[in-house]
Amino acid sequence: MNSISRRKFLKISGFTIGAAAAVSTLSPMIKGANKFNKEKVKGIQKIPTYCDLCFWKCGAVAYLKDGELWKIEGNPEDPLSKGRLCPRGSGGIGAHSDPDRLRSPLIRTRNRGEEIWKEVTWDEALDYIAEKMNKIKTEYGPEAVAFFAHGIGGTFLKHTLNAYGTQNFAAPSFAQCRGPRDVGFELTFGEAIGSPERTDIENSKCLVLLGSHLGENMHNSQVQEFANAVQKDAAIIVVDPRFSVAASKAKYYLAIKPGTDIALLLAWMNVIVSEKLYDVDYINKFGFGFEQFAAEISQYTPEWAYPETGIDPELIRTTARVMSQYKPATLIHPGRHTTWYGDDSQRSRAVALLNALMGSWGRKGGFFFPTKFAVPGYPYPAYPEPIKPKVDNPDKKYPFASEEITTGIRDATITGKPYPIKSWFVYATNLIHALPNEDETIKAIQNLDLMVVVDVIPSEIAGWADVVLPESVYLERYDELHSSPFKEQFLGIRQPVIDAPGDQKPNWWIAKKLAEKLGLGNYYPWNNIEEYLDFRLKKIGLSLDELKKKGIVHGNKAPIYFEDGIAPEFGTPSGKIEFYSPQLAAAGFDPVPKYKRPDQPPAGYFRLLFGRAPVHTFSRTQSNRILMDMMEENEVWVNADIANRYGLKNAQHIRLKNQDGVVSNKIKVKITERIRTDCVYMVHGFGHNSKMLKSAFGKGASDAQLVTKYVTDPLMGGTGMNVNFVTFEMEA
């Protein structure tokens, strides 16, 4: 256990890679001892699993050729992929062969963030963690440990931490992503959108996208259904400051001024209500507070919205009438990443209300009622009763938060209030890129007694850890069973198809070993995950062997629309669709959404917008060599007139400086006619500065680094991040 510098560590890593490669090419004898492919099968083997390149969890089939990983295809039995993976999923083998992967457990030897480590054994790493956790429990109580996770792989670590006695778990997928949308729909229909989205795009006759860039945002089933809707000549209306790929498929493109979507939504509803174009029967049956809503909406004419949005009043009228023409098969898409301006749950409520006017909730071509394959859980001992309430939202400061708030835990870690947080566990989420204002994240980390990161790659957040635990990638491990709420019931399995190349371990093993070190072994009555999975599957008349062969099994048929038997029930206080929301009024918020003009960029500055590329997921895939070959850096999109005015050249490298003086990495300029003149755009996830992430280091710029400012949604604690402005720094 020698103390080693980063340089030396990289050299050691490099040696490990070389050694692994030598084993696979030169020594079939050793390869023959392969745990998962005991007999090195000649020819082709197909092993079903489910994908982990994003959270959609598509069913996949991995192909081995002569025992080596060859390619991955979609599983035709899978309702999410329908046999076709997205480019990230197709490039999944690059996750296994990524040369920058974490390879052995690491313990920090110098200051946090300096990325200087010693390699340790799993026993040493877990003993170190358990000792610190026991100390924290004694001094502060178990609630002082918080857990940030993304994805299904966090299930077992969460179980261990629950057994330890904390419930302070949060994911950026709520307060930095889909939270406002889910809260806006809950307040209106009494139910969230969920994931995968319950949007029936393939049966929509009119699809409205507000900033939602399907096609660039590659959520597989949605993109497949979108292409289907395009083929069927659906009336597509796209609202975006950028001429997205989706905009190029639209009948109507509304080049909206950023941040003014609520004004447009109110004007659309004004037209629909004043021209009585809504679904009268539906609203008579299911609506609550429609009269108050209609009265309030009457002031928001298209002429009122025009100076705010920049959209011609006649175009607002035309598109409102087109929507009404196809109702109830008119779907105003709720979006997913909706943390934009801090009034996002109210904007999402306006989206929900527009859908309510169309009568699309519960209807074919609108929002379906998802159905889910049920498998009984494992009979674990009860978790200890928590003594302290959750830390993230004290006194219900954000009264309509329906999940835990990451930035609430961060605040508590900085202030020590309502009680101190002394340890973070971070699983598969790069908080440095996911949370706004990285200075606050780093400040919080400095207050910790223990910071543990479990991941497959050395992301920026791993660089701040005390202990880094390397996880095997999805192709090398079992995981929790997968059944998502969707149009049909299905159950999928993830199983190992190839050995991990180093000392990486699956999350279930890490969680179980840690529990044992903490004296909580009784929470893991099973010896290994095969036993756990088989136990649960036997309860429903299946077996692990059977599911391993099929990859996916289907459940019972179930109704998903009102018209085929779903009871029209709404989980709101009134039991109806709340056009006027008494619970919002009672909490001091607008019962019908109102528009407030967002702050505008100072002269010479442009609003920073960011989004997705189809070949990358967040900041997690840039070192995957296959996906890197598709896109190795991001670009800043600049309108051609603006580029001309500032003397920018296409493909020139510049830096961006934000309103707080923060300067980005170098980024390539993309001069384009596909964006407004008051904003710039970049793909999220690039601009890595983790030294261990060698191949992605310094490629492109990070939008997250420039998001120093954010506006918190007072309803639910979401962090609006489209409120930063940047200017160009020419000396690159």
Partner 1 sequence: MARYGMVIDTKKCVGCMDCVVACKTENNVPEGHNRDWIVTVVNGKFPSVNLEIQSQRCNHCDNTPCVACCPTGASHIHEVGNVVLVEHNMCIGCKACLAACPYDARFINPEGYADKCTFCIHRVEKGELPACVSVCPTHCMYFGDLDDPNSEVSKLISSRKNHQLIPEAGTSPRIFYLT
Q: Which range of residues in 216-224, 376-384, 532-540, 657-665 is near partner 1 by CB under 8 A?
A: 216-224
Q: Which range of residues in 149-157, 221-229, 483-491, 603-611 is near partner 1 by CB under 8 A?
A: 221-229
Complex with partner 1: residue 585 or 640, whichever CB lies closer: 640
Give the largest Cα separation in the chain, rounded.
Answer: 79
Question: 4, 12, 20, 230: which one contacts partner 1 (CB under 8 A)?
Answer: 230
Q: Please, which of residues 606-625 interact with partner 1 by CB under 8 A?
A: 614-615, 625
Tokens of 346: 């109210």
DSSP assignment letter at 497: -
Question: 248, 298, 325, 402: which one contacts partner 1 (CB under 8 A)?
Answer: 248
Q: Please, which of residues 60-79 interact with partner 1 by CB under 8 A?
A: 70-74
| Count of CB atoms situated within 10 Å of the CB of 563 | 11
User: Contact 331/285 with Cβ under 8 angstroms?
Assistant: no
Q: How far is the CB of 254 from partner 1 (least distance, A)?
A: 8
Q: Which range of residues in 249-257, 436-444, 511-519, 658-666 is near partner 1 by CB under 8 A?
A: 249-257
216 makes contact with partner 1 (CB under 8 A):
yes
Q: Which amino acid is at 272?
A: I
Complex with partner 1: residue 241 or 718, whichever CB lies closer: 241
Complex with partner 1: residue 482 or 676, whichever CB lies closer: 676
Complex with partner 1: residue 56 or 400, whichever CB lies closer: 56
Element containing residue 658 per DSSP (H, E): strand 653-658
Q: How far is the CB of 700 from partner 1 (least distance, A)?
A: 17
Distance (Å) of CA 63 to CA 66, 385, 450: 10, 46, 41
516 makes contact with partner 1 (CB under 8 A):
no
Complex with partner 1: residue 529 or 680, whichever CB lies closer: 680
Q: Identify which of 397, 297, 298 has the alpha carbon closest to the alpha carbon of residue 349.
A: 297
251 makes contact with partner 1 (CB under 8 A):
no
57 makes contact with partner 1 (CB under 8 A):
no
315 makes contact with partner 1 (CB under 8 A):
no
- Around 279, how many Cα atoms within 13 Å sit in the side-chain half-sphere? 21
Q: Identify which of 137, 157, 52 has the alpha carbon closest to the alpha carbon of residue 454.
A: 157
What is the side-by-side order of every strand in the sheet holding 252-254?
A: 252-254, 235-239, 206-210, 330-332
Q: How far is the CB of 208 from partner 1 (least distance, A)?
A: 17
User: Contact 150/427 with Cβ under 8 angstroms?
Assistant: yes
Q: Is 617 helix (H, G, I), strand (E, B) or coil?
A: coil
Complex with partner 1: residue 255 or 566, whichever CB lies closer: 255
Question: 4, 10, 20, 255: which one contacts partner 1 (CB under 8 A)?
Answer: 255
User: Contact 386/167 with Cβ under 8 angstroms?
Assistant: yes
Q: Is 75 helix (H, G, I), strand (E, B) or coil?
A: coil
Q: How far is the CB of 73 from partner 1 (least distance, A)?
A: 7
Q: How far is the CB of 659 from partner 1 (least distance, A)?
A: 25
Q: How far is the CB of 257 from partner 1 (least distance, A)?
A: 12
DSSP string computed for 228-277 = HHHHTT-EEEEE-SB--HHHHT-SEEE-PPTT-HHHHHHHHHHHHHHTT-
Q: How far apart are CA 553 and CA 550, in angstroms?
A: 7
The phi, psi pair for 195, rounded to 5°, reads: -140, 130
Question: 148, 169, 243, 278: which one contacts partner 1 (CB under 8 A)?
Answer: 243
Is omega for the bond preceding 418 within 30 degrees of 0, making it cis? yes
Q: Please, which of residues 652-691 interact with partner 1 by CB under 8 A?
A: 672-677
Q: How far apart are CA 596 and CA 588, in angstroms?
A: 16
Q: How far is the CB of 219 from partner 1 (least distance, A)?
A: 10
**How many residues touch partner 1 (CB under 8 A)?**
48
Q: How far is the CB of 606 from partner 1 (least distance, A)?
A: 14
Q: Please, which of residues 437-456 interact with partner 1 by CB under 8 A?
A: none
309 makes contact with partner 1 (CB under 8 A):
no
260 makes contact with partner 1 (CB under 8 A):
no
Complex with partner 1: residue 233 or 731, whichever CB lies closer: 233
Complex with partner 1: residue 243 or 278, whichever CB lies closer: 243
Distance (Å) of CA 472 to CA 24, 154, 503, 608: 18, 13, 8, 36
Q: Is 287 helix (H, G, I), strand (E, B) or coil?
A: strand
Q: How far is the CB of 469 from partner 1 (least distance, A)?
A: 29
Question: 23, 227, 277, 375: which one contacts partner 1 (CB under 8 A)?
Answer: 227
Q: How far is the CB of 24 from partner 1 (least distance, A)?
A: 15
Q: How far is the CB of 552 from partner 1 (least distance, A)?
A: 18
Residues 81-100, one symbol each (x = binds partner 1 by CB under 8 A, - = not), give ---xxxx--xx-x-------
Complex with partner 1: residue 544 or 613, whichever CB lies closer: 613
Q: How far is the CB of 85 from partner 1 (least distance, A)?
A: 7
Q: How far is the CB of 63 from partner 1 (least distance, A)?
A: 9
Is the Cα dihedral 361, 364, 366, 368 positive or negative?
positive
Q: How far apart are CA 394 and CA 419, in angstroms?
A: 10
Q: Identify which of 201, 309, 291, 297 has the alpha carbon closest to the alpha carbon of residue 246.
A: 201
Angle at the Cα of 301 from the Cα atoms of 296 and 304, rounded to 5 degrees: 110
17 makes contact with partner 1 (CB under 8 A):
no
Q: Which range of residues in 226-234, 377-385, 454-462, 501-509 is near partner 1 by CB under 8 A?
A: 226-234
| Count of CB atoms situated within 10 Å of the CB of 636 | 27
Element containing residue 69 per DSSP (H, E): strand 68-74
User: Contact 171/406 with Cβ under 8 angstroms?
Assistant: yes
User: Contact 43/70 with Cβ under 8 angstroms?
Assistant: no
Q: Beta strand pairing status for 206-210 and 330-332?
A: parallel
Complex with partner 1: residue 415 or 677, whichever CB lies closer: 677
DSSP assignment letter at 146: E
Q: Please, which of residues 633-652 interact with partner 1 by CB under 8 A?
A: 639-640
231 makes contact with partner 1 (CB under 8 A):
yes
Q: How far apart are CA 144 and CA 420, in angstroms?
A: 6
Q: How far is the CB of 263 from partner 1 (least distance, A)?
A: 18
5 makes contact with partner 1 (CB under 8 A):
no
Binding site for partner 1 (CB under 8 A): 70-74, 84-87, 90-91, 93, 214-216, 218, 220, 223-224, 226-228, 230-231, 243, 245-249, 253, 255, 614-615, 625-627, 629-631, 639-640, 672-677
